[in-house]
Amino acid sequence: MFSTTVTDTGQITIPQEIQDYLKLSSGSKIDFVIDEDGHVKLIPLNVSVEKLSGFLHRPGIRKVTLEEMECAISEGANDWT
């Protein structure tokens, strides 16, 4: 396990081993997600959507295809017009 310290301004330094594992470099963007169990997950935004498939899976919820996701997004977008 790796640890770091939060500065007075809320900044942290990501340990080099984690940067290497996530293929982060200067200027890389990351997201923080809190899952249904309250765990915080760090998501590098240099990862394709396909690799993230199932990342937030909840037991009992069926997986959907990319086509189903695109259809749902399209239907939701229609609600905005």
pLDDT in tens, the chain (81 residues): 899 999 999 999 999 999 999 888 888 889 999 988 899 998 888 766 666 666 677 788 788 889 998 888 888 877 775
Q: Work out the burial of residue 18: count CB atoms within 10 Å of its CB; fewer than 13 is exposed, 13-18 middle, 19 or more buried.
A: middle
Question: How many angstroms from the chain centroid is the CA of residue 9?
Answer: 23
pTM for this entry: 0.53
Residue 45 has a pLDDT of: 86
Alpha-carbon distance of 28 to 47, in angstroms, equals 11
Torsion 34-40-42-48 (CA) sign: negative
